[in-house]
């Protein structure tokens, strides 16, 4: 089991950041790596159990299922059902915490998964930096340009 | 019940913030509202159950008890026992979290309590603003001003002290008999410097090149040695990643490690994770950083590649074998004895070749179906040059990072072209010259150790005074794995 943890500070109120990221179908709006996304079976995108089916800009397709969504804790949990990344038992958590000093947002994005040992390091880097940090970077840009 | 929550970003690594906050008696040094504080009885300030007895500057008197303290989660909880302010059933929790983006710290401070009717708002405001927000600002100022959170063991000493070290000094270039053991003065750390009490010093072949005068990196009389580990004694201004009492290690491009105490630039020193002993850190840092850049930077070793590791049972060799194997390579190694072959095999070398006379090319070809290897990690040099050339596959990568057996390997461009070879002549200190890259490299090495993917092999230990004997053993090719001097 590998654990990847990435955290950052977004210069916007936690409610504003949460309003953007709580939409499980909203990745193309803010994540630079995602080309398009839809929710399978026409479910609402904040119903636990819904599956988002999205296409990466580099062509791969990923299916992820929403496992938990809390508007109280500003946190969502999801798992990967299918992906070209070669990971198993992948569960990720995206959580926001208000920073009272400066009205900013502390954002944490973590994942646990299994992978062949020879690929652990590479995957941890790709996910921690390529997916999570890249997402934080574009959130910073998104809110910097309001 | 009232609840107060405040949080802030502190522009310092979590280890540095936690080193201050985990000390339950530190608040009179950083919190502007606290006038004086002491721990009752003989308890230490990180013992769960200890009671801090303190006065605020407004005259209030408070006793608080530490309820939990977790160095793994960076959390502490405490409650008020008695206070001249009317906070009842007050329980507070301090939580730190790492901000990986920029190596800063998120500090979350929350409490619940009961207040007398009518005074709720006043007390909520008081705790939130005068205690928590003022505390954030106080700690920021404390860290910024270079104030030192001193552990009790270092509190008695003043930072301005000069201290005396025992050191191994090279009197003039030449044999190991030119080394002598003597006392020297070590200055206190200036800005951006740190002073380390060294417990373990690593011996590397580069020390011998320098001693012989082949690498003109010192002018005698001078202290040798590129790497050591120990405990931070004190830090100068503008040092943010180390604190007194931290276990730390370095592999630094300026010799001077053969000593019990040393002051050096802090950005060359890395904190050693708690899962790694100082012996291990000293035995592995220089060689581990070497393995890291060889396998990840000079050449990115890929699964399925055939690699040849010269001196596979040496300090660097054993690490390169383990790490290359972990990356999925097919590892072939050269060694000089059967005993070394056994140790190399035990550390990930699939095919050790015993070649005391440096005749190994035929065996390498046989082990690779006649093709040769994709990359060779050559720490031997010219005596092995012809055979190394033969052992490389077409388009192979020849990485000449050392020359323990003679002058460095060099390659005639004509012959290089005949096999489309790539030649690299890397030097560790070029890779570690940028502090950020050094820290990333060290983190990867320590991570490999903590995950048990990299096992240090300390073949021999000498006292610091016997450094000459350690050199002799290394030059006679008697040693296996790393050699340590114990200071």
Phi-psi region of B416 (alpha: psi -120 to 50; beta: other; left: phi over 0): alpha
Shortest CA gap A92–chain B (Å)? 17
B9, B133, B136: residue with CB nearest A9: B9
- Determine whether B475 is exposed, middle or buried from the number of CB atoms within 10 Å of its CB (0-12, 13-18, 19+): middle
Closest by CA position to A113, among listed A127, A101, A102, A99? A127
Domains and CATH numbers, chain B: 2-147 (3.30.530.20), 161-286+479-486 (3.90.180.10), 302-425 (3.40.50.720)
pLDDT confidence bin for B382, thresholds 50/70/90: confident
Buried b (16+ CB within 10 A) or exposed e, B42-65: ebebeeeebbbbbbbeeeeebebb
Tens of pLDDT, residue by residue over A56-67, are 998 899 999 999
Distances (CA, A) of B215 to B180, B211, B475: 20, 8, 16
What integer pLDDT is reported at residue B154 of this predicted model?
A: 40
Low-confidence winner among A3-17, B15-29, B235-249 (lowest mean pLDDT): B235-249
Shortest CA gap B444–chain A (Å)? 10
Query: How open is the CA angle B218-B222-B225, to the nearest 5 degrees?
Result: 80
Average pLDDT, chain B: 90
pLDDT confidence bin for B410, thresholds 50/70/90: confident
What are φ and ψ of residue A17, in 5° steps? -65, -40
Tokens coding A91: 């569960």
Query: Which range of residues forms the domain containing residue A34?
Result: 2-144
Task: For chains A and B, count residue pairs whose Cβ atoms are closer than 8 Å.
Answer: 56
CA B351, distance to chain mean position in Å, is 32
Pairing of strands B104-114, A61-70: unpaired
Total count of domains within chain A = 1
The mean pLDDT of A78-98, rounded to a whole number, is: 95
Best residue in A4, A10, A118, A134 to probe B by mutation, most B CBs within 10 Å?
A: A118
Pairing of strands B269-271, B306-309: unpaired
Tens of pLDDT, residue by residue over B4-27, are 999 999 999 999 899 999 999 999
Query: Domain holding A109: CATH number?
Result: 3.30.530.20
**B434 vs B395, more confident:** B395
What integer pLDDT is reported at residue B387 of this predicted model?
A: 93
ipTM for the assembly: 0.91
Q: Is the dihedral of CA B179, B181, B185, B190 positive or negative?
A: positive
A7, A98, A101: residue with CB nearest B101: A7
pLDDT confidence bin for A34, thresholds 50/70/90: very high
Chain A: residue whose CA lies nearest to B326: A118
What integer pLDDT is reported at residue B404 of this predicted model?
A: 67
Tens of pLDDT, residue by residue over B198-235, are 999 999 889 999 999 988 999 999 999 999 999 998 88
Low-confidence winner among A27-31, B391-395, B449-453 (lowest mean pLDDT): B449-453
Tens of pLDDT, residue by residue over B57-85, are 988 999 999 999 999 899 999 999 999 99
Tens of pLDDT, residue by residue over B278-329, are 888 888 888 999 999 999 999 999 999 999 999 999 889 999 999 999 999 9
Pairing of strands B422-424, A2-10: unpaired
Q: Above 50 in pLDDT, residue B148?
A: no
Q: Above 60 in pLDDT, residue B151?
A: no
pLDDT confidence bin for B405, thresholds 50/70/90: low
Q: What is the pTM of this model?
A: 0.54
**A9 close to B (CB below 8 A):** yes
Contacts of A97 in chain B (CB under 8 A): 7, 106, 108
CB contact under 8 A, A101 and B7: yes
Q: Is the dihedral of CA B273, B274, B275, B280 positive or negative?
A: positive
Closest by CA position to B289, among listed B444, B485, B397, B481? B444
Return the H-helix or E-strand segment holding B265. strand B261-265
Best residue in A106, A109, A117 to probe B by mutation, most B CBs within 10 Å?
A: A106
What integer pLDDT is reported at residue B406 of this predicted model?
A: 64
What integer pLDDT is reported at residue B153 of this predicted model?
A: 37
What integer pLDDT is reported at residue B465 of this predicted model?
A: 92
CB B148 within 8 A of CB B234: yes
Give CA–CA dist B403/B380, Å, rounded.
4
What integer pLDDT is reported at residue B320 of this predicted model?
A: 97
């Amino acid at each position: 089991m590998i654990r990847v943890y990435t955290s950052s500070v977004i210069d916007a109120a936690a409610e504003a950041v949460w309003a953007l990221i709580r939409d499980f179908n909203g990745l193309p709006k803010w994540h630079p790596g995602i080309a398009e996304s839809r929710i399978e079976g026409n479910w609402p995108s904040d119903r636990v159990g819904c599956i988002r089916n999205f296409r990466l800009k580099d062509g791969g397709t990923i299916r992820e299922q929403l496992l938990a969504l809390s508007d109280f804790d500003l946190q969502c949990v999801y798992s990967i059902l299918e992906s070209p990344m070669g990971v198993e038992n992948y569960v990720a958590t995206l959580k926001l915490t208000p920073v009272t000093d400066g009205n900013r947002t502390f954002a944490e994005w973590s994942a646990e998964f299994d992978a062949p040992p020879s690929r652990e390091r590479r995957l941890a880097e790709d996910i921690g930096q390529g997916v999570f940090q890249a997402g934080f970077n574009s959130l910073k840009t998104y809110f910097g340009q309001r | 019940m009232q609840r107060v929550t405040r949080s802030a970003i502190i522009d310092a690594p979590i280890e540095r913030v936690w080193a201050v906050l985990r000390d339950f008696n530190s608040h009179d040094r950083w919190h502007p509202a606290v006038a004086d504080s002491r721990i009752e009885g003989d308890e230490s300030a990180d013992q769960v159950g200890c009671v801090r007895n303190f006065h605020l500057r407004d005259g209030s008197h408070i006793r608080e008890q530490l309820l939990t303290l977790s160095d793994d989660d960076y959390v502490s909880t405490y409650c008020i026992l008695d206070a001249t302010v009317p906070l009842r059933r007050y329980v507070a929790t301090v939580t730190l979290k790492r901000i990986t983006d920029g190596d800063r710290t998120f500090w979350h401070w929350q409490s619940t309590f009961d207040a007398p009717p009518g005074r709720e708002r006043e007390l909520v405001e008081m705790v939130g603003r005068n205690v928590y927000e003022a505390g954030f600002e106080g700690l920021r100022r404390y860290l910024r001003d270079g104030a030192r959170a001193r552990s009790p063991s270092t509190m008695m000493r003043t930072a301005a002290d000069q201290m005396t070290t025992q050191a191994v000094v090279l009197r003039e270039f030449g044999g190991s008999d030119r080394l002598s053991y003597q006392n020297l003065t070590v200055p206190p750390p200036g800005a951006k410097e740190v002073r380390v009490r060294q417990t373990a010093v690593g011996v590397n072949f580069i020390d011998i090149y320098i001693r012989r005068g082949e690498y003109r990196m010192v002018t005698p009389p001078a202290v040798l040695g590129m790497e050591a580990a120990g405990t931070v004694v004190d830090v100068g201004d503008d040092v943010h990643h180390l604190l007194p009492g931290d276990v730390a290690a370095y592999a630094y491009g300026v010799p001077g490690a053969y000593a019990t105490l040393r002051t050096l630039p802090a950005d060359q020193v890395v904190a050693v994770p708690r899962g790694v002993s100082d012996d291990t850190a000293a035995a592995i840092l220089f060689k581990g950083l070497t393995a890291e850049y060889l396998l990840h930077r000079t050449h990115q070793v890929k699964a399925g590649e055939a690699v040849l590791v010269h001196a596979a049972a040496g300090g660097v060799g054993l690490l390169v074998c383990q790490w290359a194997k972990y990356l999925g390579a097919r590892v072939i190694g050269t060694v000089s004895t059967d005993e070394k072959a056994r140790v190399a095999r035990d550390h990930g070398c699939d095919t050790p070749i015993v070649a005391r006379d440096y005749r190994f090319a035929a065996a390498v070809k046989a082990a690779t179906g006649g093709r040769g290897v994709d990359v060779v990690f050559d720490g031997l040099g010219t005596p092995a040059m012809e055979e190394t050339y033969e052992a490389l596959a077409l388009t192979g990568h020849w990485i000449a990072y050392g020359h323990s057996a003679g002058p460095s390997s060099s390659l005639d461009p004509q012959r290089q072209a005949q096999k489309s070879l790539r030649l690299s002549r890397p030097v560790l200190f070029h890779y570690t010259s940028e502090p950020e890259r050094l820290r990333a490299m060290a983190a990867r090495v320590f991570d490999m150790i903590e995950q048990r993917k990299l096992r240090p092999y300390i073949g021999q230990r000498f006292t610091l005074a016997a450094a000459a004997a350690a050199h002799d053993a290394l030059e006679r090719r008697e040693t296996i794995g790393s050699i340590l001097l114990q200071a």
